Amino acid sequence: MTVVTNETWESWLGPRRSARLAERYGTPFYGYSARVLRNRCRALRRAFPGALIQYAMKANSNPALLRMIRGQKLGVDTVSAWEVQLARECGFRPRAIVYSGSNPSVEELRAVHRAGAMVNLDALSALHRYGKLFRGAPVSLRLNLEIGGGHHPHVVTAGPDSKFGLSPEELPEARAIAARYGLKVIGLHQHIGSGVFELALWLEAMDALLEIAAAIPGIERIDAGGGFGVPYRPEEQAIELGDWGRAVTARMAAFNAQRTKKARLVLEPGRFVVCEAGVLVARVTTVKRTRDRVFVGVDSGMHHLIRPALYQSWHPIDFYPHRTGTPERVFVVGPICESGDVIAEERMMPVPEEGDLLVVGNAGAYGYAMASHYNLRARPAEVLVDGDRAREVRKRETYRDVVRARDV
């Protein structure tokens, strides 16, 4: 039984080191652990032998991390022309890249095709466009089999209300369009959502996909998507990746036993690869008491980590140095002019002092990747910790980076 434990950041970024890094690079910064990242890649490869694991780079597209992930023999799942371009620049070969963008423009389809990446298409009109442009090309079809899941309604990507995927009823027409242009349907794809903990649900979706694939000759790729849940709250259990792997591998074997041309399992995990490898480190600027609350104001907020504001996500936090006062109901908030600018709410902990550091865990996925310039603030630096060494893998933005207008 492989239990992937909730690896906390203290093993690579304790109070002393975070203080040193904050001194060297300023705050706020995202810190990443090379060790945790490599371990996650290895765990996936071990659990799904023979599968093509295409890391969903939307979760974190820092080039240094992408190079490490490529070094761990993972491919990459992309959703924009620039993600494809960056993947190529980070050394991913065309056949290691899949593109699963939503509502792509013609220019984007051209760029993806030019780069030689595999495409997952999910609209009949997109198939027409692609077929006219690239007669005879291989394609994979994204399906919506109405089995969805995930940690928040915003991240459920299948079901009757979802914009993603072709319905099974559309499949005959999709295949007819493909045939008309000589497109070869070599793959089927689905992604049910993000932050899925229920193996049974994920398998139900995979079974539905395999059942459809069984009726289509020429299928070489069964792309079952990503979505593997990662625990954020202490009471959440890590998924048992070994069980997950065995169940999925057995299904693929049973599927392939019926076929002369064997299909390869493809997976697209994003969060699972990078989430626990990353933290956000910020400085406490202001401690302020109102009648009912203790607000701990920090120099980072929803513009750097939007997940708490957008999905009410709970992230583990700590303050360094550890204070010993009586725990109080602490609200950690940022510098943005919105009341929704929260990082953590109602945490019972000793109140930090101004100048202390805040560390936010599980920030490696959908952290920097979703950061913005709101309120005209810079995106933070990114620092990679590898053993005893740390290096800045992206600089904090400057005023000029952010403004970018010619006529200031």
**For binding to ligand LLP (CB under 6 A), which residues are involved?**
56, 59, 77, 100, 155, 157, 191, 194-195, 225-228, 268-272, 307, 311, 366
Choosing from 41, 90, 275, 337, the catalytic residue is 337
We find the least distance from the C-beta atom of residue 272 to ligand LLP, in angstroms, to be 6
Would you say 18 or 120 has its CB closer to ligand LLP?
Answer: 120
Question: Minimum CB separation from ligand LLP for residue 276, in Å?
Answer: 12
CA gap 148, 227 in Å, rounded: 10
Shortest Cβ 155–ligand LLP spacing (Å):
4
Q: Which is nearer to ligand LLP, 66 or 390 (CB)?
A: 66
Minimum CB–partner distance for residue 49 and ligand LLP (Å): 19
Query: Are the C-beta atoms of 367 and 305 separated by less than 8 Å?
Result: yes
Distance CA 148, CA 126 (A): 23
Residue 233 burial class via C-beta count within 10 angstroms: exposed 0-12, middle 13-18, buried 19 and up: exposed
Rounded to the nearest 10°, the torsion over CA 125, 128, 132, 136 is 140
Coil vs helix vs strand at 261: coil
For residue 66, give Cα distances in angstroms to 74, 128, 273, 274, 370: 9, 33, 11, 10, 17
41 is catalytic: no
Query: In this complex, which beta carbon is closest to ligand LLP, that of residue 77 or of residue 276?
Result: 77
Cα-Cα end-to-end distance for the chain: 60
Beta carbon nearer to ligand LLP, 122 or 170: 122
Closer of 48 and 228 to ligand LLP (Cβ):
228
3-state secondary structure of 324: coil
Min CB(239)–ligand LLP separation in Å: 11
Q: Which residues are catalytic, by number?
A: 337
